[in-house]
Amino acid sequence: MLEGGALHVHLHRNRNTSSSVVRRVRRHWGRLHRAPHPAAVAVEFFDALVAAIRCQPPRAAIATLDSALNLGLLDRDGLDDVFTAMPRRYRVLRELVDPRAESGPETLVRLMLRMLGVDFAVQVTIAGVGRVDFVVDGWLIIECDSNAHHSSWDAQRRDRRRDQRAAALGYATYRPIAEDIMWQPDSVRAALVGLLGIPTRRRPRTKGGR
């Protein structure tokens, strides 16, 4: 989750907990949609997913659903069941879900691009370069980098050579890091606005003449 570090626990409706137990614990008493095994210590995945969506801000909820679909933990029919199980106000999120996202940061960048109103394509294969996360306005490649896959020098060298091949084809590449996408989204958005030349109310002043 993007916000908070509380442990989410489902309890029986008649169960009471002491104040020492509930510290940093988010309690859920709602009706379960899937009955867990009598010996189970966790609810079914479906109920955990419904609770996760309701407890997160919209962009994080969409990322959760994207990941569940991409990993094969949920199918399209199951996605319909999830939204049927939630209040109607959540159904507006349904059309924003995209199983092509291979990570939470990719989902967050996709939503950012959508909000900016730019033309973009997802998971694009470029001859001589390979598959990239996004191509915006036909010229800007965006790759969402994480420590898991891009931290070693070998990985960075491979990425830079890909960027070089892309540059030879007329593309520019922007690589926001996952922690900035998740925790400093305004800085990533500002970078996109600057790169894409999107008009803003206030332009930064520059020193010196031409």
Task: Give the CATH number of the domain where residue 180 resides.
Answer: 3.40.960.10
The total number of residues shown for the chain amounts to: 210
Q: What distance in Å separates the CA atoms of residue 71 and residue 69, rounded to the nearest whole number?
A: 5
Domain boundaries, position 30? 1-99
**Does residue 116 share a domain with residue 192?**
yes
**Does residue 105 share a domain with residue 95?**
no
Look at residue 94 and tell me if it is in a domain.
yes
Look at residue 207 and tell me if it is in a domain.
no
**Phi/psi-derived region of residue 208, left when phi > 0, alpha when psi is between -120 and 50, beta in every other case:** left
**Does residue 64 share a domain with residue 128?**
no
Look at residue 91 and tell me if it is in a domain.
yes
- In this structure, what are the phi and psi dihedrals at residue 49, rounded to the nearest 5 degrees? -70, -45
Longest dimension (CA), the chain: 75
- In this structure, what are the phi and psi dihedrals at residue 122, rounded to the nearest 5 degrees? -110, 140
DSSP count for the chain of H helices, then E strands: 9, 6
**Does residue 129 share a domain with residue 159?**
yes
The residue among 59, 82, 99 that closes a domain is 99
Residue 14 has pLDDT above 90, yes or no: no
Q: What distance in Å separates the CA atoms of residue 55 and residue 158, rounded to the nearest whole number?
A: 39
Look at residue 205 and tell me if it is in a domain.
no
CB 173 within 8 A of CB 195: no
**Does residue 175 share a domain with residue 146?**
yes
Q: Report pLDDT digits (tens) over 62-73.
A: 999 999 999 999
Check residue 105 and give its pLDDT: 95
The residue among 61, 81, 99 that closes a domain is 99
Give the model's confidence band at 7: pLDDT under 50 very low, under 70 low, under 90 confident, else very high: confident
Look at residue 63 and tell me if it is in a domain.
yes
The residue among 49, 64, 99 that closes a domain is 99
Look at residue 210 and tell me if it is in a domain.
no
**Does residue 154 share a domain with residue 134?**
yes
**Does residue 179 share a domain with residue 113?**
yes
**Does residue 114 share a domain with residue 89?**
no
Higher pLDDT, 114 or 22: 114
Q: What distance in Å separates the CA atoms of residue 125 and residue 162, rounded to the nearest whole number?
A: 12
- In this structure, what are the phi and psi dihedrals at residue 4, rounded to the nearest 5 degrees? 75, 160
What's the structural domain count of the chain? Answer: 2
Which has the minimum average pLDDT: 109-118, 140-149, 164-173?
140-149
**Does residue 65 share a domain with residue 124?**
no
CB 166 within 8 A of CB 141: yes
**Does residue 137 share a domain with residue 51?**
no
**Does residue 126 share a domain with residue 161?**
yes
Q: Report pLDDT digits (tens) over 87-111.
A: 999 999 999 999 999 999 999 999 9
Look at residue 148 and tell me if it is in a domain.
yes
**Does residue 84 share a domain with residue 2?**
yes
